[in-house]
Amino acid sequence: MPLDIDKIREDFPILNRTVEGNRLIYLDNAATSQTPRCVVDSICQMYYEHKANVHRGVHTLSQEATDRVEEARTKVKEFINAGSTEEIIFTRGTTEGINLVASSFGDSLCNGDEIIVTVMEHHSNIVPWQLLQRNCRVVLRVVPMNADGSLMLDAYEDLFTDNTRLVALAHVSNVLGTVNPVKEMIAIAHRHGVPVLVDGAQAVAHRRVDVVDLDADFYAFSAHKMYGPVGVGILYGKRRFLEALPPYQGGGEMIGHVSFEKTTFADLPFKFEAGTPDYVGMAAMTAAIDYITSLGLDNIAAHEQELLAAATAGLMEIPGMKIFGNAPGKEGVISFLVDGIHHYDMGMLLDKMGVAVRTGHHCAQPLMTTLGIEGTVRASFAAYNSIDEVNRFVAAVARAAAMFRK
C-alpha cells in the first residue's frame, strides 16, 4: 500500500524547519533518522509520569517504569521474531552490542584465531575485533567485493580455516546500500561450525528482519536509526551463546549474589545489563516499533525503492557523476562524487540549499581505501522523504556541480 507521505510528515515537526532560508530536505537518515511525535511523547510521558529506576523498587513508579521497559523488550522480540525476551539485551547502540560480543566472546579466543569480516564494514564492526589484539593475536580475514559493491561469495567460502572463530558482517552497507545475502552467508558459516554476528544498523528500519529465519547467532542494531530514541540499542543473541558468555560489564542489576569472595550473575537478559540503563529510551522503543509497524515495513521498503530509483536516474544525468554501489536490490543509500568536486565542498553547498547529506568516509575507511577515494557524498532515505524532495535534491546537486564548472 502506498504511504501517505504528507500525513507521515506531519508526525515529524523537525521537517518543517528551514536551513539557510530553505525548507529542510533531510537525507542523512543512514546516520540517524528523525523522531516522530509519538516517540517524543512517550519519552515525555515517562519523565512526567513514570520516572523511577527499573527492576529495583517495590513502589508503584518503579513497577510502572519496569513494566514499560519489559513491554518494549517484548515488542523488540516480536519485531525481529526472536525466540524469547531473554535473548534481547538492551545496549547503548549497535556499537556497544558489537563491543559486548567482542569483549565477552573474545575472552575465549587465542593466538592465531581468525574472524571473518567484509570489506564494507563500519568501523564499529572492525575496531572492536582489533582491540582483542591486546590479549592475543587475532587475525581479521576480509571478504572482498565486486565492482558493483556485492560481496564475492566464493572468496568468502575460501576464507574459512580451522582457526575461524566468528563471522561479523553488515546486513546492509551504510555506504553502498548493498544488502548482503546474510542468510546464505550464515548458512555457509554454520556449515563450517562458525557462529555469525550481523550488524543490522542499516537494515531494521528498511526491511523485515527475522533472526530465526536468518539463523543469526547475534544481531545488533540502534534505535536512533529506526525513528526511535538516541542512546538505546539492541543486541539479540541466541540463548545458548548468551548463557555461555561471561558478563560484559560488572555492576548493579547484573548480579545474583555478591560477596567479597565470590559473585554470581543474574539470569538473562540482565546478566548483560549492568547499571542504570537508559530506561526512558528503552520504553520509547515500543512507540518507535509501533510507528514502523503502523506504516508497514514492506510499504516503507517499496517507497524508499521509488526514491532510490528517482534519485539515481536524476543524479546520473549530471555530467561527471559517479555513484558507488549499484548491487541489485540495494537499499535507499546513494554514495556519489562529481568529477573534480571534493565531497566536503559538495556537502557544504547542498547545506546552503537546505539539503542535509553526509560527507566523508562514513566510518568505513578500509572501504574507501578499496575504492581508491577519501570519501563520498551520501544521501539516504527514510519513510518521510518525498519524490518532490528527491527532485529538489537532484536539482541542488546539479546546481552545485554547475557552480564548480564555471
List phi, psi (to 5°) of 77. Answer: -55, -45
Of 38, 44, 136, 363, which residue is the catalytic one?
363
CB 93 to ligand PMP: min, Å: 3
Of 62 and 174, nearer to ligand PMP (C-beta) is 174
CB 230 to ligand PMP: min, Å: 9
Q: Does 42 bind ligand PMP (CB under 6 A)?
A: no
Of 66 and 174, nearer to ligand PMP (C-beta) is 174
List phi, psi (to 5°) of 313. Answer: -60, -45
# residues near ligand PMP by CB under 6 A: 15
Of 62 and 202, nearer to ligand PMP (C-beta) is 202
Region 221-240 residues binding ligand PMP, contact defined as CB under 6 A: 222
Which of 11, 87, 199, 304 is the binder for ligand PMP (CB under 6 A)? 199
Across the strands, what pairs with 151?
A: 145
CA 261, chain centre distance (Å): 40
Q: Is 258 helix (H, G, I), strand (E, B) or coil?
A: strand
What size, in residues, is the chain? 406
Question: By CB neighbour count within 10 A (0-12 exposed, 13-18 middle, 19+ buried), where does 365 fall?
Answer: middle
Question: By CB neighbour count within 10 A (0-12 exposed, 13-18 middle, 19+ buried), where does 209 fall?
Answer: buried
Distance between CA atoms of residues 222 and 233, nearest Å: 4
Region 131-190 residues binding ligand PMP, contact defined as CB under 6 A: 170, 174
Q: Does 93 bind ligand PMP (CB under 6 A)?
A: yes
Of 30 and 311, nearer to ligand PMP (C-beta) is 30
Helix (H) / strand (E) containing 226: none
Q: Which stretch binds ligand PMP (CB under 6 A): 118-126, 204-212, 271-279, 285-293?
A: 118-126
Q: Which stretch binds ligand PMP (CB under 6 A): 20-28, 189-197, 199-207, 263-271?
A: 199-207
Q: Does 95 bind ligand PMP (CB under 6 A)?
A: yes
Of 114 and 199, nearer to ligand PMP (C-beta) is 199
Q: What Rg do the C-alpha atoms of the chain give, in angstroms?
A: 22
CB 176 to ligand PMP: min, Å: 11
CB 66 to ligand PMP: min, Å: 25
Q: Is 246 helix (H, G, I), strand (E, B) or coil?
A: coil
Q: Does 278 bind ligand PMP (CB under 6 A)?
A: no
Q: Which stretch binds ligand PMP (CB under 6 A): 81-89, 161-169, 195-203, 309-317?
A: 195-203
Determine the angle formed by the axes of helices 297-316 and 387-405, rounding to 10 degrees.
30
Q: Does 118 bind ligand PMP (CB under 6 A)?
A: no
Q: Which stretch binds ligand PMP (CB under 6 A): 180-188, 197-205, 252-260, 270-278?
A: 197-205
Distance between CA atoms of residues 190 and 2, nearest Å: 38
Q: Which stretch binds ligand PMP (CB under 6 A): 122-130, 248-256, 288-296, 317-325?
A: 122-130
First-to-final CA distance of the chain: 45
Q: Is 110 a catalytic residue?
A: no
Distance between CA atoms of residues 322 and 86, nearest Å: 46
Distance between CA atoms of residues 405 and 177, nearest Å: 29
Across the strands, what pairs with 263?
A: 258
Distance between CA atoms of residues 34 and 42, nearest Å: 15
Catalytic residues: 363
Enumerate binding residues for ligand PMP (CB under 6 A): 30-31, 93-95, 122, 124-125, 170, 174, 199, 201-202, 222, 363
